[in-house]
Amino acid sequence: TSGQVLTSGGSGAAVSWATPSGGAWEVVTTQALSSSYTTGYVENTGWSNSYARYAVMLDGIASTTNFKIWIQIYADNTSGSTGTLITSSNYHYSAWRTKIGGTNSGGVVGLQYSNSYQPQHILAYNTGYSTYTAGEFIFPMNNNSTGNAFKRWSGRHIAYDEEFLQDSCWLSESSYHTTGVRVSFYNTSNNAYVTPTDGRVTILRMKYS
């Protein structure tokens, strides 16, 4: 078939045609954002601990008005299932802000922002809003079915001319496995969806080998 390669069958065995497996990272799904995409969020479920980690890539997301980005996860005791969207007030998060090419107000190079016991992870809390955002977040998978069920993820993103370094979150949740994510776009009052007019959200997953 077009695109296949010849693969060794091992010592003394014949070669065979196979589909290339690609690199360590592979695309799970990608969603282009435009005025025709009016859902207000992008989500993906069915995450499996057969993979080492998942990543959410935010590429050139733009809107005509300032917006914030929320992250909420799905969780379940069964890896690979759809799971349940976690909206309980157990998200704890913080971010470190630097201004690109200058200093923040008061001459401070970096400012830390944090919040606890919230129903979602708001990127950079109340300061990370802009008409443009780009960044990436990594979600390690829990490969055990017992023990510590805390969920942890981190990443960084740019909102206009400010970069938010190690924007991290941990979630106290009894279900063992992270099974998905919802990335939402909200207005600066956190009470209504904003529809981005450009950009893309891509979900990746990393193989163990």
Q: What is the pLDDT of residues 92-140, one digit of tens each?
A: 999 988 888 776 665 566 777 889 999 999 998 767 788 999 999 999 9
pLDDT of residue 146: 62
Q: Give Cα separations from 14 to 1, 6, 9, 17, 85 (angstroms).
A: 18, 10, 6, 10, 48
Per-residue pLDDT band at 180 (split at 50, 70, 90): very high
Instruction: Collect all residues with Cβ–Cβ distance below 8 Å to 135 and sequence separation of at least 6.
Output: 58, 123, 155, 156, 157, 158, 164, 167
Q: What is the largest CA-CA distance in the chain?
A: 72
The dihedrals phi and psi of 105, each to the nearest 5 degrees, come to: -55, 140
Rg from Cα positions in the chain: 19
The pTM is what? 0.85
Q: The tokens of 42 are what? A: 């992008």
CB atoms within 10 A of CB 93: 23
Q: In the chain, pLDDT over 70 holds for what percent of residues?
A: 92
